[in-house]
Amino acid sequence: AQTVTQSQPEMSVQEAETVTLSCTYDTSESDYYLFWYKQPPSRQMILVIRQEAYKQQNATENRFSVNFQKAAKSFSLKISDSQLGDAAMYFCAYRSSYGGATNKLIFGTGTLLAVQP
Amino acid sequence: DVKVTQSSRYLVKRTGEKVFLECVQDMDHENMFWYRQDPGLGLRLIYFSYDVKMKEKGDIPEGYSVSREKKERFSLILESASTNQTSMYLCASSPVGINNQPQHFGDGTRLSIL
């Protein structure tokens, strides 16, 4: 069975600085999808960024980018120019491409990011 | 934008009560999910449904059941609530057959069982 590990329960970053959140996963599959979700305090969880395993190029969405290392089974999230609104719980998630139609996700335990003004 | 609406943000119930958590989505998604979120444990899948009246157990189904009578609505039922079911419950939906599409989440229901 696949597992997702986020080894940093909490992180802190100064406003305008860069921070990297770690995520590793374990799978025997060659094709899959990886996601980072953001859950602000008392607010809805939203997608930050996604990566298809068959793509070598790292995904980027504005200030958010990933470092996808397939051989190392690592999927870290880099937040550049951190803003106060980036403070949230961040979850890494894995989805098998062999899971059929159900789009089941496997989540890590989350990293709580604090942004200091 | 996809809208996933959970009927209550906060709910307080007593041990032994039958509890219903409701979720409605407006994007005609085939898949719907119920998760439980606990500190240090992340999100754990309770049940999911891939079509009306179809359901499958997730990782922690014990003590829960679900109902999906209409495509847009997915209900989570705690048959006899217990204190260890105090948690945050999240509903999500997604389309079928599009592998890289994310799940869309509701705001969550924080349930306390006294």
Span B87-113, pLDDT tens digits: 999 999 988 766 677 889 999 999 999
List A89's β-bridge partners, or say none: A39, A112
How many CB pairs below 8 Å do chains A and B form together? 57
Residue A100 pLDDT:
61
B31, B40, B48 ranked by CB distance to A109: nearest? B40
Name the amino acid, one letter, at B97.
G
Q: In chain A, which residue's Cα lies nearest the Cα of B38?
A: A109
A contact test, residue of B99, B104, B105 with most A CBs within 10 A: B99
A8-40: pLDDT as tens digits: 999 999 999 999 999 999 999 888 999 999 999
Residues from chain B that touch A61, judged by Cβ atoms under 8 A, are none
Of A91, A101, A102, A116, the residue nearest A22 (C-alpha): A91
DSSP-derived secondary structure letter, A31: S
Cβ burial of B102 (10 Å; 0-12, 13-18, 19+) is buried
Q: What is the pLDDT of residues A44-66, one digit of tens each?
A: 899 999 999 998 899 999 999 99
